[in-house]
Structure 1
Amino acid sequence: MSQNLFPVTPTTRRKLTSALVAMAIFTCLGALTTAAVGRPVEIGVTNAALIGLGVGLFEEFYVQSRRGDWLRAMHPLRSIPVYVAVVIVLYFVSLHVAHLVLGRLDDLPTAYRRLPYGLTIFTIFSMVGILMMRVVHFIGLGTLFHLMVGTYHRPVGERKVLLFLDINGSTELGEKLGALQMRLLVRKFLSEVTQPIIDRGGEIYLYKGDGLIAMWDWTAAIEDDAILHAVDAMLARVAGERDTYRQLFGVAPDFRIGIHGGDVIVSEQGDTRRSIGIYGDTINIAARMEEAARAHNAACVISRVIADALADRSRFDEIGQESVKGISAPIRIFKLRTGACGPA
C-alpha cells in the first residue's frame, strides 16, 4: 500500500543510486584527506559523506533536471563558482551535523579555528569528487559497473528489445534553425524522451545525432506492454512541450520510432575507450523498422515478433512486409494507430 502512495520510478531509483555513489566517492576522499592532515577520521568521514550526499542530490535532482538547464548549458569552468558556493553551504551544514551526530560538539571551536584550511581542503576534493561524478554520469552507472566486474568481458547471449528513434526532417530543420539552435532543440528533445524510457524499465544504449537507441530486457519490455507505454509517454511528453518548442525555436519536432526484439550478443568493445556493444541481426532489423516508419509516414513501426508478444493487439495495423539486407525472409511489420501513437 505504501508503494502505491509513494511510487518510486526507475528514474528516481537511478538518481538515488547515483547520489549514493557520490556519497561513497566523497567518503573515500574525506577519509584520505583527514587522515593525511591528522584530524579525527570519524569527523572527516561523516562530514565528507554528508557533503557527498548533498552534492549528489543537487547534481541528480537539480542540475540534471529541467530547472538545471541553465547550469548544464554553462561552460564547465564558469560553473565552478556555483559548485563552490553549494559546497560551502553543504560544508557548514555537514560540519555541525557531523559533530552533533558524533557527540563531538566540544571539537567545534577547533574546527572553526581551522575553518579556512578545512574549507579549502574540502572544496578542492569536492571538485575532484564532482569531476568523478561527471565521468560516471557520462559513461553510465550500469555500463561502468559491467565494465568493472567484467560481465561482458566474454560475449554473452541475451534476449533484448531495441527501439530506434529519430527526429523527422532533421536535415531541413537544421538548415532552418542553424547549427546552434538545432543543437539546443535536440538536447531538449532527447531529454524529454529519455525519462519515459528509463521509467518503463529501458536504458539508453546510444545517443546518435538527433536520435537514440534504447534497449530493454525482453521480459521487461513485454510485461504489461511496457514498451508501448514508453512510446505513449514519449509522444505525450513531447506533445506537452509543443508550445515551449515553438516559443524557443519557432517549430515543434515530430519523430519516428522503430521497434524489434530478439537474440543478441552483448560484449565489451574498444581498446583505449571501452564500452558495451550489441551485435546480431536484431539490431539491424530494429534499424530497418525505424526506416520503415519514415517510408510509411508512421510514428511507430514494430516487427511481427513484437506484435505477437504484446497483449494489446487492438492497436496494430499491418503494413506489409519489409526486406532487410542480409535477412533471407522479409519481415512482417505493423504500425501503431495514429490515434494512440501518432504524432501529437
Structure 2
Amino acid sequence: MTHFSNPRLRYHLKRILPFGIIWLVLSWFILFIESMATGYENQRPETDITVTWSIFLFASLTVFLVGIAMGAVEVLWLGKLFKHKAFWQKTLYKMGFYLLFMLVINLVTFPIAASIELQSPIMDTQVWHKFSNYIVSPTFLSTMVSLAFSIFVSLLYSGISEHLGHNVLLNFFSGKYHHPEEESRVFMFLDMKSSTSLAEKLGHQNYFKFLRDYYNQLSGSIIQYHGEVYQYIGDEIVITWEQQEGLQNQNCLHCFYAMKQSLQKKSTYFEETYGVAPSFRAGLHMGKVTTGEIGALKKEIFFTGDVLNVTARIQKLCKQFDRDIVVSDVLRQKIAVPEHINFVSLGDMELEGRSAPIALFFPVQIP
C-alpha cells in the first residue's frame, strides 16, 4: 500500500498553493494600478517604498509566502474550526483573525523593505523614521484595505472550493471540460447497508449528523488512494479515478479496504453516539465515459456512459450475492492483482438494459 502521508500531503499542497498564487496575482494587479495612478513615480517618498527590482522581488516573495501561510492556516486549522458556521459568520470571524495576522506581517516586513530601499542596516534611524511616518500615513490605511481585499478573495475561493471540490474548481478555471472529452475511468458505487431503517430509527436530524460523520470518516481513505468524490446521493457515494490512477498500486481496491478499516476503528464512537455502526457495499467497474460541463442554471462536471449504469447495477448485486464488494471482470483483467488478494468468480450475470452478460468477481483478502 502507498504511504498515507504522501497523498495527503499532495492533497493539502494542491489546496494551499492557490492561496499563494491568488495573493501574488492580486498584489501585482494592485501595484500596477497604483503605479499607473501615480505616473510610475513615488510621490510620497517619506512614507512609501520606491519600487526597484530588489523591492519588487522581495515584495513578491513575501506576498506569495504570506498567501501560502494563510492557505495553510485555512486548510489545516481555521477552515475546520468554523466549518459548521453560516458563510457570513465564518467569513466575518476569519476576516478579523487574518486582518490581525496581516497587520503583524505588515509591521514586520515594512522595516525590512525600507532597509533594502535605503541600503541601510535595519536598525538605522532612517529606517525607523520612515516606519514611524508610514504607520500614521494614508499609505498604511491603503495597504490594510488592499490586504483585506486579498483576504476576502482568498476566503471566497476557499468557500467555493470547499463546496464544489478542489479538482472541479480547477477544471472550471482551466476550461478542461468546456468541450466534452472521452476518458477511461474507474468507478466505485458505495451504498450504506440498511440505510432506510437507520433513517427511520434515528430521525432526520440525527440521521443527517450520522451521514456527516460517516462521510467524514471515509474521506481520509479516499484522499489516501487518490480517489475523487463525484457525487453524494443520499447515503450513496460515487468515487472515481482516472484509469491510470485507479489501477496504479490497486488504489481502487485498497481504497475500499481502507474505508472499511476506518469505519471499524470508529465503530465504538458510532455505537455510543447513534446506537449503530455503519457499513457499506461497493461495486467497481471501469470503462469509457464522456466528460464535460453540463447544466443551464447550475454548472457541474458530468460523466455519461454505460460504465456508470453498469457499476450501479453491480453494486445492487452485492446484496444478492451477500458480498461487501463485487468487481467486474473488465476491471479484474486490467488490475495487477496483489499477492494478498484472490478473485473468486461469481459467474456471469445478465444486467438490466444490457444484452450481453457480464462476468463478476469477489476479491478475497488472503491473511
TM-score class normalised by the smaller sequence: 0.7 to 0.9
CA shift, 1:27, in A, is 3.0
Summarize the Cα distance change of 1:26–1:289 in structure 2 as closer, same or farther, 3 Å threshold: same
CA RMSD of aligned residues (A): 3.0
Residue 69 of structure 2: aligned partner: 54
Q: Does 2:111 correspond to 1:86?
A: no
**Bigger CA drift: 214-223 or 118-127?**
118-127
Residue 177 of structure 2: aligned partner: 152
Q: Name which of 213, 238, 252 aligns with 1:213.
A: 238
Indicate conservation of the 8 Å contact 1:299/1:338, yes or no. no
Listed as ranges, the matches of 1:132-281 within 5 Å are 132-281=157-306
**Bigger CA drift: 280-289 or 87-96?**
87-96
**Bigger CA drift: 50-59 or 118-127?**
118-127
Listed as ranges, the matches of 1:298-337 within 5 Å are 298-310=323-335, 311-312=337-338, 314-337=341-364
Summarize the Cα distance change of 1:338–1:13 in structure 2 as closer, same or farther, 3 Å threshold: closer
**Bigger CA drift: 131-140 or 223-232?**
131-140
**Bigger CA drift: 253-262 or 40-49?**
40-49
CA shift, 1:339, in A, is 7.9
Residue 9 of structure 2 aligns with an amino acid whose one-letter code is T
CA shift, 1:92, in A, is 3.2
Residues in 2 aligned to 1:7 and 1:199: alpha-carbon distance in whole angstroms: 6
Summarize the Cα distance change of 1:89–1:238 in structure 2 as closer, same or farther, 3 Å threshold: farther
SS at match of 2:353: coil
Indicate conservation of the 8 Å contact 1:51/1:87, yes or no. no
Indicate conservation of the 8 Å contact 2:91/2:155, yes or no. no
**Bigger CA drift: 221-230 or 43-52?**
43-52
Q: Identity of paired residues, percent?
A: 23
Residues in 1 aligned to 2:195 and 2:226: alpha-carbon distance in whole angstroms: 28
SS at match of 1:327: coil
Q: Does 2:128 correspond to 1:113?
A: no
Instruction: Report which of the two structures shows the higher radius of gyration computed on alpha carbons.
Output: 2
CA shift, 1:228, in A, is 1.5
CA shift, 1:237, in A, is 1.2
Summarize the Cα distance change of 1:112–1:248 in structure 2 as closer, same or farther, 3 Å threshold: farther
Indicate conservation of the 8 Å contact 2:111/2:131, yes or no. no
| Structure 2 unmatched runs, 5+ | 39-47
CA shift, 1:303, in A, is 1.0
Residue 68 of structure 2 aligns with an amino acid whose one-letter code is L
Summarize the Cα distance change of 1:339–1:185 in structure 2 as closer, same or farther, 3 Å threshold: farther
Indicate conservation of the 8 Å contact 2:283/2:311, yes or no. yes
Summarize the Cα distance change of 1:54–1:130 in structure 2 as closer, same or farther, 3 Å threshold: same
CA deviations 1:189-224 (Å, max 9, x no partner) are 212222322221222222222221111122222222
Q: Which stretches of structure 1, 4 residues or longer, exceed 6 Å deviation after superposition?
A: none
Residues in 1 aligned to 2:112 and 2:342: alpha-carbon distance in whole angstroms: 57
Summarize the Cα distance change of 1:154–1:76 in structure 2 as closer, same or farther, 3 Å threshold: closer
Residues in 2 aligned to 1:108 and 1:250: alpha-carbon distance in whole angstroms: 62
